[in-house]
Amino acid sequence: MKVVFQDAFWAPRVRLMAEEVIPHQWKALNDQIPDAEPSHAVENFRIAAGEVRGTFHGMVFQDSDVAKWLEAACYSLQYAPNPELERLIDEVVDLLGRAQREDGYLNTYYTIAAPDRRWKDMSYSHELYCAGHLIEAAVAHHEATGKTNFLSIVRKYADLIRREIGPNPGQKRIYDGHEEIELALVKLYRATGDESYLQLAKYFVDERGRQPCFFLDEPGFAGGPKDRWFDLDYFQTHAPVREQRTAEGHAVRAMYLYAAMADLARMTDDGSLKETLFRLWDNVTQKRMYITGGIGSQEHGERFTVDYDLPNDTAYAETCAAIGLVLWASRMFRLDPDAKYADVLERALYNGVLSGISLDGKRYFYVNPLEVHPPTALFRHDLRHVKTERVPWFGCACCPPNIARLIASLNRYVCTVENGNVYYHLYAGCRSEWEVNGRSVRLTMETDYPWDGRIAVTVECAEPVSLNLYFRRPGWADEAGVAVNGEPVDARGALLKGYIRLAREWRSGDRIELNFPMRVKKMAAHPLVRENAGKVALQRGPLVYCLEEADNGANLADIRLSAEPQFQTEFRRDLMGGIVVIRADGYRSDPEAWGDALYGEYSGRLGKTAVTFVPYAWWGNREPGEMTVWARQLELG
Ligand code: ZN
């Protein structure tokens, strides 16, 4: 399976990763960006290797920034040869090898700062989390370059882990407070064929939540949790995973755990794990997810709270959590081929993930609220996590390299081959090539997605090939037009769990046309989402829209959309790299007419105003200012 973007949307973004973002992030990891928070992440490896003198700096999981950067850099090699980057990757891999201990252990914090604490602070140490990211990077390196040196380094480390940790006598019966190694070990199993890695992943998942939890005996707990938001549920260890019914705790951790559970449920055909995942999926996507695909609504604990608690201004919605949702959704599809998973994947990708990175790729949001009022956000204690503008780097920099590795590997999410059937989940101008039933087929997709829902697909194959092609009918689409070689197809009749199934003998030159008209939709939230009562959000195709001060002036909270607005859309080539804007009629009050009184009797007097919406993920790419996704609307009189 090989997919190469050739469109005006993803191709430039993927190129930006390779040419700008990955070099920029390398500078950030080496503290070469003025005014950015320092990283020290690469220096930590040099110190651990004994090549320079110094002390460890950064978060205990600082190593994972280097690992994610390596993974992103390796993915970017697949698009175009880049000898300079490959040489740099080689140097970093060699450095990792030199920083590795004799027994295979590889973690700079515990090597430099706390050598006697190895495997002793599992609730907060992130040791296996960092190991997991190194493993993912090594697998990507092996795939991209064919080299085995990095894979050998992480195998030596994974072999140490499986010797020392596990359920057998003499082993430490532990797991990590931050999940990640579980899904990484599944990748390592796939890359090496060594089943013991899959067994170790299964051990970590099965062991999680067994009571009494060993975290309670660790210094991190010191007899009890830090507070109620950092109790065992924060780590998804409050109950065995198969007994968990709602998504709890730190959102990124939860996503990485669920992603690994989905891998294992499929690979080991584990029915109880599947049932758990279906339940958790419904809980997250029907009760605990923002319309942007953001998750984790509370800053304290970066975590899930309770059903329908989705505040807009204090939202956390970490970029990594939306990325985690993409990772989980893509794996859920493989358990249960239903379009609802790719619908959520698409929602998270085009909104809550893309909002995390500026158009030039060099500034980032960690937190992705749905409403920002800068003067308030810059002062208020309960909004201190909110940045009103994207920043060049973070002291805790999990998000920037995470988004880089996702976008650099996005071609893997476009389509999949399952049991001889080919599924297209995402739409983008691209060329895809895959082998099915021993035949090689190429599909070229042309589209202006996400601005336009028309997609033309051309088939190329050396000889006719019989197979089922499945195209996702996006959940947002009210209608679907489908034609093969100009002949209309009954899209409703061909629909199977949200995918349009086209089964026939395909010949070179066959042409498929799909049309999912993109109407501007006025979206409402479930009535129990108190924050959005009386408000609407606009969505067009996969994109959720927002109001920005740059287009609408200040005090966006006062703007009311007409009860039945007429929407006008326009593709503005000149605006933020080219976007479709939505215009509508609205109303707002007149502060001058109101006067100075803080309160006065309600008059209902409002003036007409024109309002302009831009896609949410693009907000904050102009001058700083207010933003809101949910807008009030006038009641139907
Ligand atoms: Zn993050």
Concatenated DSSP letters for 166-189? SSSTTSB----SS--HHHHHHHHH
Give the global pTM: 0.98
Q: Are 346 and 8 in contact (CB under 8 A)?
A: no
Given a cut of 90, whether residue 566 has pLDDT beyond it is yes
pLDDT of residue 492: 87
Specify the pLDDT at position 636.
61
When pLDDT is averaged across residues 394-398 and rounded to a whole number, the result is 91
Query: For 404-417, what is the mean pLDDT?
Result: 96
- The answer on pLDDT for 334 being more than 80 is yes
Summarised one tens digit per residue, pLDDT across range 249-290 is 999 999 999 999 999 999 999 999 999 999 999 999 999 999
**Cα 574 to averaged position of ligand 1 atoms, centre (Å):** 31
Residue 308 to residue 331: CA distance in whole angstroms: 25
Mean pLDDT for 442-457 is 98
Inform me whether the pLDDT recorded for 637 exceeds 60. no
Q: Work out the mean pLDDT of the chain and round it to a whole number.
A: 96
**For residue 330, how far is its CA from the centre of ligand 1 (angstroms)?**
19
User: How far, in Å, is the centroid of ligand 1 from the Cα of 342?
Assistant: 22
Instruction: Give the angle 593-597-601 at the CA atoms, nearest 5°.
Output: 80
- Percent of the chain surpassing pLDDT 70: 100
CA 511 – ligand 1 centroid, Å: 42
SS3 at position 193: coil
Distance 160 CA to ligand 1 centre (A): 28
Phi, psi of 384 (to 5 degrees): -65, -15
Q: Which position among 127, 136, 302, 371 bears the catalytic label?
A: 302
Task: List pLDDT tens digits, range 175-215.
Answer: 999 999 999 999 999 999 999 999 999 999 999 999 999 99
In angstroms, what is the span from residue 386 Cα to ligand 1's centroid? Answer: 14
Interval between CA 399 and ligand 1 midpoint (Å): 4
Task: Give the integer Cα–Cα distance in Å for 266 and 322.
Answer: 23
* 225: amino acid identity, one letter: P
Q: Over the stretch 72-85, which tens digit does the pLDDT of each residue have?
A: 999 999 888 899 99
Q: Take residue 630 and report the two structure tokens written for it.
A: 């949910």
Q: Which of 59, 123, 131, 126 is nearest to 100 (CA)?
A: 131
Mean pLDDT throughout 460-482? 96
- CA dihedral in degrees (334, 340, 345, 346; nearest 10)? 130
Nearest to 176 by CA among 204, 213, 154: 204
- The answer on pLDDT for 455 being more than 90 is yes
Among residues 398, 399, 430, 461, the one annotated as catalytic is 398
CA of 396 to the centre of ligand 1 (A): 8
* pLDDT of 493 strictly over 90: no
Instruction: With a cut of 80, say whether residue 635 has pLDDT above it.
Output: no
What's the mean pLDDT in 592-621?
Answer: 94
Percent of the chain exceeding pLDDT 90 equals 93
In angstroms, the CA 192 to CA 184 distance is 12
Predicted confidence band of residue 436 (pLDDT cuts 50, 70, 90): confident
- pLDDT mean over 607-615: 96
Task: Kindly indicate the confidence band of residue 145, based on its pLDDT and cuts at 50, 70 and 90.
Answer: very high
| Residue 626: CA count within 13 A, CB half-sphere | 19
Clarify whether 302 is annotated catalytic: yes
CA of 398 relative to ligand 1 center, distance in Å: 4
